[in-house]
Amino acid sequence: MTNEEFNNLLGIKESYEMPEKLMEILTGENVIDFYEKLLNLDLDLSKDVLRDYFQAEHGDRGKLKQDYTPDCVCELVRRLSGDAEDTLDICAGTGALTIACGRSGEHRCEEVSERAIPVLLCNLGIRGMRGTVSVRDILTGQTKREYKMIPAGRFTRPELTEETHTRKWKRIVSNPPYSLKFPDVDKAVDDPRFSYGLTPSGFSDFLFVQDALSRLDDGGTLVEILPHGVLFRGKKEEAIRKNLIAANLIDAIIGLPDNLFMNTSIPVLLMIMKKGRNRDDILMVDASKECVKEGKVNIMTLEQINRVANAVSLRMDVDKLSHVATLEEIRENGYNLNIPRYVDTFEPEPVPDLLDTLAELKAINMEIDKTERELIAMAAQLVGTTPEAQEIVDKANDFYKRYLNEKNQRNNAAAGGDDRESKKREALPGRGDADRIIWNKRSGQISFF
């Protein structure tokens, strides 16, 4: 399906008209007919085919830090987030993570972007997925509207509802905006969701984590997609890391390749958190090289996804891939969870062949000698247009000759002189027929006559 085909189906000329028009269709009487026509565009319902359309035309990186989850990351999150049928997707965007987690079950999606909500509702409805969609600001906890997905044949359609949702979840997935600013963070000091500590106003990542943890059920799994700064930034965030580790909530950290997203090249990580863990270590996985280039972005192949998922499942040390870090190690590192501190992926470069290196060095030196001889010959041809200019030219030539003589004398002394070779000379053209440059190859002396 192309952007033009989708716009034509909506009856719009410009993509900026999409959110309002799509919402009008989804809440109208002809929504089932629209779904049928949309399916005729040969959609691949196994993934979020509307995501790229939306983020190319409507994604807000500047204000909302929106980076929508690519398919390979969705698949990896699905593999690592447990087998519960019901899913809570926080900062759901257009629903890619929810779609990856499966059509069955009762899902809840929460998203603050009014422009993303119609696409999210459409993605759920055309797949017949059940659950609720909330227009909600996670940081403030304020909910604007709630939609319930009502069965409509093989589809579901959105309907406004007054229902409230306070249940706990066995599986929570989330791709929150990275390092979003929250100027009013101090006003949340009494918010019970943020019991592990408040973040700096410029980095709200751990507030999203804590909101999710407040709704995670015992024995449940939370997978958060986060920037690497949460692993090592100090002060308030360091205190939060200590508290999360002390509560035995962090199960694994997986560093992903860079350039996986459409609108940003920054690398991110998966932080797996669990309630009721029966172990007190943290698995560190460096999957930063598990990718291949596809067009302008990197992707993780199914083989690479399997390799990472297996590393998490086996939970053991694998050279240059994973390490099980003990609490003692983590304390020794000052609660810094930066992955390179625990997984060494250094690949030493092969030692170059000594003879090849010497041959290359000899060639370079010969080229330098040749260039210097050519330069002194060209300098000798310079003639000043005034007596003052000629004086400058003569001084420059004298200076350069002394520089070359000193340099070659040093080289000669370092290499060991040979008087038998000192008489070998090479004549080079100078400023005219009566002016020649003599270059003594062995001593390095230069003279004019």
CA atoms within 13 A on the CB side of 49: 15
Distance CA 157, CA 121 (A): 8
Share of the chain above pLDDT 70, in %: 89
Model confidence at 50: pLDDT above 90: no
Task: Report CA 283 to chain centroid distance, whole Å.
Answer: 20
For residue 426, name the pLDDT band (cuts at 50, 70, 90). very low
DSSP 68: P
Asked whether the beta carbons of 159 and 150 are under 8 A apart, the reply is yes
CA 269/CA 238 separation, integer angstroms: 17
Domain ranges of the chain: 3-341, 354-448
Q: Which residues on neighbouring strands pair with residue 131, listed in sequence order?
A: 107, 149
Please give the C-alpha separations between residue 198 and each of 168, 207, 239, in angstroms, as whole numbers.
23, 7, 9
Q: Which fold has domain 3-341?
A: Rossmann fold (3.40.50)
Q: Please, how many CA atoms are within 13 Å of residue 44, restricted to the half-sphere of its CB?
A: 10
pLDDT band at 429 (very low <50, low <70, confident <90, very high): very low
Alpha-carbon span 137 to 63, nearest angstrom: 14
Token match 């109208």: residue?
28
Among 140-149, 371-380, 421-430, name the one with the lowest average pLDDT.
Answer: 421-430
pLDDT score at 250: 98
Tokens of 359: 């041959």
pLDDT at 417: 55
- Is 254 within 8 Å of 224 (Cβ atoms)? no
Q: Which uninterrupted H or E stretch holds 134?
A: strand 130-137
Helix axes 18-26, 3-10, angle to 10 degrees: 50
> Are 200 and 206 contacting, i.e. CB atoms less than 8 angstroms apart?
no
Write the single-letter amino acid at 258.
D
First CA to last CA distance, the chain? 82
Please report which confidence band the pLDDT of residue 436 belongs to, taking 50, 70 and 90 as the band edges: very low
Would you say residue 380 has pLDDT above 70? yes
CB 26 within 8 A of CB 122: yes
pLDDT per position as a tens digit, 282-298: 999 999 999 999 999 99
Higher-pLDDT residue of 242 and 351 is 242
Tokens 């260039």 correspond to what residue?
371
In angstroms, the CA 66 to CA 123 distance is 18
Give the CA diameter of the chain.
105
Q: Rounded to an integer, what distance in angstroms lies between the CA atom of residue 191 and that of residue 263? A: 33
pLDDT at position 79, please? Answer: 96
Least confident interval from 41-50, 64-73, 87-96, 360-369: 64-73
Output 54 or 338, whichever has higher pLDDT.
338
**CA-to-CA distance for 40 and 141, rounded, in angstroms?**
39
Q: Which residues pair with 324 in a beta bridge?
A: 283
pLDDT(449) > 70: no
